[in-house]
Structure 1
Amino acid sequence: MSLHDATDTSASPQAAPQVTDAYVHQLDRQYVFHSWAQQGAQDPMVVAGAAGCRVWDHAGNTYLDFSSQLVNTNIGHQHPRVVAAIQQQAAQLATIAPAHANLARGEAAKRILARAPQGFSKVFFTNGGADANENAIRMARLYTGREKILSAYRSYHGNTGSAIAATGDWRRVPNEYARGHVHFFNPYLYRSDFWAESEAEECERALQHLRRVIECEGSRSIAAILLETIPGTAGILMPPKAYLQGVRQLADEFGIMLILDEVMAGFGRTGRWFAFEHFDVVPDLIVFAKGVNSGYVPAGGVVISDAVSRHFDDHLFVGGLTYSGHPLAMAAIVATLDTMADEGIVENADRVGNGPLAAGLARLAERHALIGEVRGVGVFHALELVADPVSKAPLPAAQVGVIKQQLQARGLLVFTAENRIHVVPPCIVTEEEVKEGLAILDDVLNAYANSSN
């Protein structure tokens, strides 16, 4: 049965089912296998449509999207300029093998490189962030002739072979099939692994810890250090500014490549085109996805420094994807980046995110003992919820789930992970929408606290 059949009762003598939330939910539960889930426990929210910072179901219930779905709809939902570009590209050239040159891919790469630091001149396109990290790892190993990849325990880099092995969180453990991965602790002052009492101490001790890991693993065996510029799923962990500079210095000292994963933090999310611009550091490889075209068509890639790209002028790059540089995805990138520039969307993320949003979240933390810490930048913030503000005992994930359900019932969608609420609206969010979302958060946290007393 086609979607047309589901809505056109004249298609057959017997009327087709009316499209309702219940019907869509039934289809999903009967036929769809979900990510990261016990299948029998799934009860997915139905979404019928979206525009800007809002989504709605078939019953007409509307929700303010402070999750940006999976922190990717930076330009908001259904931006007409991007939708039109995809439609135009589909009419002209819907798909083509990556060995061919096509206009959309060249223009997309040109626009990405225009935002990259000096010393970058090539882009390798992938289907998303996980395989972008895979190929960045592959490039580093081929370029250096070394094997090991160092990455942080508090990280998420994707669900493919090397990307999940590089990930630090619990999802790595049942998926450790790839070779040559070593983990270290990155800075996190609120729950310091280094007994630090200040940001300066946390930074110094985290860098000394990384130095010892490099020395003990054998620096000549290490191809790259892979870091999220600002770890996202792990808690939007803002590194001390000197930390990434120190990692860059360690990489240079030991001849190790530095890969910065900007999948979640890049293309406007932090109020800059790239998050590493906040830290005055330049990596050797830049991994991107998500916000580059707001996920309208799956896309990701690696921005490659000149030294690495020149290496592959006369060395074989043993990597590739059928849909690398898919025309529809490339058209979406071109339209997204042009629109973000023309409409000042990155500047809006900076102004609103570091102004009304940050100030409002700070006020929430003052009013609610449940919030142990607020951290973030731009439209990339996290509330760390605690059962006790003195001991910092994390609020159990089940209770965070209750709060998330209550927020949804009030019309607010948020991204949650473990004991955290991530407040990550699209980069186009307005001051009025921020005020609306924060009011709902305030009311729900108040109700939760009262019910727990």
Structure 2
Amino acid sequence: MTSTTTSTQDALASIPTEEAEVRRLDRAHVFHSWSAQAHIDPLPIVSAAGSYFTDYEGKRYLDFSSQLVNVNIGHQHPRMIQAIQDYAARMTTIQPGLANDARSEAARLISEVAGEGLNKVFFTNAGAEANENAIRMARLHTGRPKILAMYRSYHGATHGAIGLTGDPRRWGTEPHTVPGIVHFWGPYPYRSSFHSETPEQETERALAHLRDTIMVEGAQTIAGIILEPIVGTNGILVPPPGYLAGVREICDEHGILLISDEVMAGFGRAGEWFAIQHWGVRPDLISFAKGVNSGYLPLGGVVLSDAVAATFDDRVYPGGLTYSGHPLACASAVASIQIFKDEGIIENARRLGDEVIGPELAKLAEKHPSVGDVRGLGVFWAVELVRNRQTREPLVPYNASGADAKPMADFAAACKAGGVWPMTHFNRTHVVPPCTISEDEVREGLAILDLALDTTDTYYAE
């Protein structure tokens, strides 16, 4: 054994194995995102497998959050682990200016599932960088400065992506985000900004609002409209019939690019490779990350239409990243896409949504008065909680914190006590388990969710 091998093993042996030490080091040295550091105490996790992860006391949690809605393929999939190990034994990194087999094959496979006319991929490290580059491409392709984005949206936390974001997470960065971002209201039938009474009316009025926004901003100044085809963190808002086709028509009419942010909704989450495919609409740019390799290694990217890609045939694209198309990450994406195909994972997600999650959540809505609405596709669902069904008053106020957020905190605590790790946001819990989850595991989780909803019912007021 060489001294180098010995020193490496010694370094790995120094990683703490006791919960108390893991917790102490975390509190001493890790600066956590989206948190007031003195008010958090993250739960140390020792292992994960399939649809579950386990803490140091041996308690297993059914992962109804897929971590950050990204572990689509489940934890520690053996074929993924083997693919990463095998490729790492041959090569761990090479700069993006050189051609690489894993990168080339990942790009080919992603283009193939994206559909006709979407044949080039620019790789990034994550979704925020993907959206940053997508809007840069749109501006350079069109020569126009403005980007339209929805208020109910999240597009990432880098400087440009947080400017695109419509939810309160952008507030702390304003007014110093990138210029030229204009927000508009998208459809939300349950809480219509347009006082609509039917989904069809919501589509008509939301598209009229978008047209009005374009009119007063000047169509000739708008490079792109970026949207999540199914709004993710901000409500899992499935668009009403005809809306996305209507946006595509408006974009074509004015020479505006349609950018589909598939970072959360893509790669099986909504029961299709990309969520926008549910409606047969082809975007000009697709941003992706998360489910492309389930976060086993950092990876994201932008799929470019042939027309946008051609803009840079003889013109330098002014953007790049040291780890663009990282070989090891791309090798994991190749393995992931093959696993999706071999194991029918997209079909599993679609079936679970249609036959299990949707119908069972409808039953919970009938049973629990605090459930105001359920909506979703595939393994991408939201349960919206209210204090009163007639007034639709949210269970907690918009962007609630502290004592105001207690009802949702009580609900989350009840889920965790029962062995389910939930994803909650404002007055909603999202049912977003891995796409590989079994029907029995889904039913196990929903049974625990059923019990936890008893806590939210105590806040209901007739």
**1:411 positional shift:** 0.6
Mapping of residues 306-321 of structure 1, within 5 Å: 306-321=306-321
Distance 2:337 2:437 in 1: 17
Q: Which residue of 1 aligns with 2:257?
A: 257
Q: Which residue of 1 aligns with 2:53?
A: 55
User: Given the superposition, is the C-alpha separation of residues 372 and 3 from structure 1 closer, same or farther in structure 2, using an over 3 Å criterion?
Assistant: farther
Q: Which residue of 2 aligns with 1:297?
A: 297
Distance 1:17 1:292 in 2: 29
Distance 2:115 2:456 in 1: 46
**1:365 positional shift:** 0.6
**1:447 positional shift:** 4.4
Distance 1:448 1:182 in 2: 36
Alpha-carbon displacement from aligned partner over 1:279-338 (angstroms, at most 9, x marks no partner)? 111100011100000010010000000011111101110000000000111011000000
Q: Which residue of 1 aligns with 2:400?
A: none
User: Given the superposition, is the C-alpha separation of residues 160 and 7 from structure 1 closer, same or farther in structure 2, using an over 3 Å criterion?
Assistant: closer
Mapping of residues 388-399 of structure 1, within 5 Å: 388-396=388-396, 397-399=405-407
User: Given the superposition, is the C-alpha separation of residues 17 and 85 from structure 1 closer, same or farther in structure 2, using an over 3 Å criterion?
Assistant: closer
Equivalent residues of 1:125, 1:324 under 8 A apart: yes
After superposing on structure 2, the runs of 4+ consecutive aligned residues of structure 1 that deviate more than 4 Å are 2-8, 450-453
Equivalent residues of 2:251, 2:257 under 8 A apart: yes
Q: Which residue of 1 aligns with 2:135?
A: 137
SS of structure 1 residue aligned to 2:172? helix
Equivalent residues of 1:381, 1:424 under 8 A apart: yes
Alpha-carbon displacement from aligned partner over 1:177-196 (angstroms, at most 9, x marks no partner)? 21100000000011111011
Equivalent residues of 2:199, 2:241 under 8 A apart: no
| Structure 2 unmatched runs, 5+ | 1-6, 397-404
Distance 1:211 1:409 in 2: 48
Alpha-carbon displacement from aligned partner over 1:19-70 (angstroms, at most 9, x marks no partner)? 2322211111111000011010111121111011000012211110010000
> Out of 428, 449, 452, which is 1:441 matched to?
449
Distance 1:107 1:402 in 2: 47
Q: Which residue of 1 aligns with 2:111?
A: 113
- TM-score, with structure 2 as normaliser: 0.94
Distance 1:451 1:319 in 2: 51
Q: Which residue of 1 aligns with 2:153?
A: 155
Equivalent residues of 1:19, 1:58 under 8 A apart: no
Mapping of residues 27-426 of structure 1, within 5 Å: 27-176=25-174, 177-396=177-396, 397-426=405-434
Distance 2:347 2:417 in 1: 32
**1:7 positional shift:** 9.0
Distance 2:224 2:370 in 1: 39
User: Given the superposition, is the C-alpha separation of residues 451 and 4 from structure 1 closer, same or farther in structure 2, using an over 3 Å criterion?
Assistant: farther
Equivalent residues of 1:151, 1:166 under 8 A apart: yes
User: Given the superposition, is the C-alpha separation of residues 18 and 146 from structure 1 closer, same or farther in structure 2, using an over 3 Å criterion?
Assistant: closer
Equivalent residues of 1:379, 1:426 under 8 A apart: yes
Distance 1:110 1:17 in 2: 39
Distance 2:289 2:456 in 1: 36
Distance 1:23 1:331 in 2: 34
Distance 2:320 2:12 in 1: 41
**1:6 positional shift:** 9.3
Q: Which residue of 2 aligns with 1:12?
A: none
- TM-score, with structure 1 as normaliser: 0.95
> Out of 422, 432, 447, which is 2:440 matched to?
432
Equivalent residues of 1:7, 1:19 under 8 A apart: no
Q: Which residue of 1 aligns with 2:401?
A: none
| Structure 1 unmatched runs, 5+ | 9-15
SS of structure 2 residue aligned to 1:48? strand
Q: Aligned residue pairs: how many? A: 445
Equivalent residues of 2:65, 2:431 under 8 A apart: yes
**1:126 positional shift:** 0.3
User: Given the superposition, is the C-alpha separation of residues 450 and 184 from structure 1 closer, same or farther in structure 2, using an over 3 Å criterion?
Assistant: closer
Distance 1:17 1:82 in 2: 24
Letter in 1 for 2:268: G
SS of structure 2 residue aligned to 1:383? strand
% same residue: 56
User: Given the superposition, is the C-alpha separation of residues 29 and 345 from structure 1 closer, same or farther in structure 2, using an over 3 Å criterion?
Assistant: same
